[in-house]
Amino acid sequence: MTTGMLDVAELRDLVGKGEIDTVVVCFPDLQGRLVGKRVMGNYFVKEILDGGKDVEACNYLIALDVDMTPLPGYEFANWEQGYGDVTCVPDLTTLRRIPWLEATALVLCDLRDHQTGEPVEVSPRQILRRQIERAAAAGYTIKVGAELEFFLFEDSYRDAAALNYRDLTPHSDVIQDYHVFQTTRDEYLIRQIRNGIDAAGIPVEFSKGEAGRGQHEINLVYTDALEMADRHAIYKNAAKEIAALNGRSLTFMAKYSMEEVGSSCHIHSSVWDANGERSLMSDDDGPEHMSDVFRGWLGGLISMGREFSWMFAHYVNSFKRYQPESWAPTALAWGHDNRTCGYRLVGHGQGYRVESRIPGADVNPYLAFAATIAAGLHGIEAGLDLPPAFSGNAYDAPDLPHVPSTLIEAIDLFESSAVARDAFGPAVHHHLLNTAKQEWATFNRAVTDWERRRNFEQI
């Protein structure tokens, strides 16, 4: 068992001793946030584990926008159906202690229909599970790594809200990419995040300063896709909780300011054998030492890069990150260790893999990993091959296919994608598409500061 994880016997013992009195029972919503309940430790053990009682939640939690507004257009949950319950089934393999919260454990849940007991197919964890099952049926295990960036501020969340999130004070006055002295000044907080999530069963490789003022990256140890998505969601929640407990704030917005670089979530992926013991990516005799599996996998990622773009960029703000020469890619091209390309080949041998630089830090990892697997499997199954590796500055290559420039363009591509409908199923495709369309509709009902500043007097 990974250090920091708990089994049921350990939880019983800790609850009995009074060392655990609260269990956070939660699941990821459509935004990838953790939602759920805080259950008393004794009740969790006696009534849920031993007594078989259900933990229930309103099904609207996977039919909401980021403001938790119930949205129209969903077939799964709506006002006409009365917004009933789903059953939250604890996945006890995710049970862990939460060191930064006193006497607290956490467990992630899978959602079941409250009446039939069937899996809720439109829940993010289930969406990813289905793609993992598709890969397993083909004899593959998919492993993933996520590199998640954020900006840290001296302001608390309450103070940031009072300022309308303008004129905040970055935790650094300088760009701090790989900067040791400046990150030492941040270490009182970043160390708490690193050590906290590591002690919660989320193994950490390292942290580093990034290319913005107050920007950081913390990298997690490579693992299976569902495990990485779970770790990603818990880490993201942890970072914000620990910042709040220290009177600080941080943001995972893809582009919090046009004067700063964006925050990314680079996704490393590779295909392994059925037991997850041997990578299938490398071939000493293949072109670029790539196996046929690798070439098909990467071919799928590139070919579906436009149609699946919403799965990696969910919000209006997400697309503002894609700026020329900003470290966020705009071209759907691949290259060897070339950070101007959307896809970068890194590693060798058993560590040979592709890094997708497309997603921002605002991404829901369950959806992004599901799309990665669906696109990669499509490439393998269709026998797709690759265009030549790109060398040079991909930002200056107008003939390459590019990431959509707006949310509405991404919505249109996703809506018309037969591959997406086939891979995710019509019900899930409709659910995700409605989420995207409602985000665009909500934005179009808002007047921005930019519009007032530009048009109030001059129009």
Residue 430 lies in a domain: yes
The CATH number assigned to the domain holding 57 equals 3.10.20.70
The tokens for 157 are 């969340």
Pairwise CA distance, residues 199 & 187, whole Å:
17
Number of Cβ within 10 Å of residue 341's Cβ equals 28
Q: Shortest CA distance to 338 belongs to which of 357, 313, 319, 361?
A: 357
Domain boundary among 91, 115, 139: 115
- Regarding beta strands 22-28 and 104-113, do their DSSP bridges make them parallel or antiparallel, or are they unpaired? parallel
Are 136 and 222 contained in the same domain? Answer: yes
Are 104 and 145 contained in the same domain? Answer: no
Question: How does pLDDT run across 127-165, given as a tens digit for each residue?
Answer: 999 999 999 999 999 999 999 999 999 999 999 999 999
2 has pLDDT over 80 = no
Residue 140 lies in a domain: yes
pLDDT for 224 equals 98
Residue 422 lies in a domain: yes
Residue 293 lies in a domain: yes
Are 184 and 147 contained in the same domain? Answer: yes
Question: Are the beta carbons of 246 and 236 closer than 8 angstroms?
Answer: no
Question: How does pLDDT run across 87-111, given as a tens digit for each residue?
Answer: 999 999 999 999 999 999 999 999 9
Residues ≥6 apart with Cβ < 8 Å to 69: 442
Residue 257: which domain range?
131-450
HSE, CB side, 13 Å, CA atoms: give it for residue 108: 23
Question: What is residue 87's three-state secondary structure?
Answer: strand
Are 150 and 76 contained in the same domain? Answer: no
Query: pLDDT-derived band of residue 1, with 50, 70 and 90 as boundaries?
Result: low
Q: Shortest CA distance to 329 belongs to which of 309, 349, 311?
A: 309
- Structure-model confidence comparison of residues 3 and 289, the more confident one: 289
Q: What is the mean pLDDT of the chain?
A: 95
Residue 427 lies in a domain: yes
The CATH number assigned to the domain holding 395 equals 3.30.590.10
> Which pTM was predicted?
0.97
Question: Are the beta carbons of 124 and 364 closer than 8 angstroms?
Answer: yes
Question: Are the beta carbons of 336 and 345 closer than 8 angstroms?
Answer: yes
- Regarding beta strands 141-153 and 34-40, do their DSSP bridges make them parallel or antiparallel, or are they unpaired? unpaired
Query: pLDDT-derived band of residue 396, with 50, 70 and 90 as boundaries?
Result: confident
Pairwise CA distance, residues 88 & 114, whole Å:
9
pLDDT for 338 equals 85
Number of Cβ within 10 Å of residue 279's Cβ equals 21
| Mean pLDDT value of segment 275-302 | 95
Buried b / exposed e across 264-278, counting CB within 10 Å, b at 16+? Answer: bbbbbbbbbeeeeee
Residue 122 lies in a domain: no
Are 76 and 175 contained in the same domain? Answer: no
Q: Shortest CA distance to 224 belongs to which of 271, 266, 264, 265?
A: 271
Residue 261 lies in a domain: yes
Pairwise CA distance, residues 174 & 172, whole Å:
5
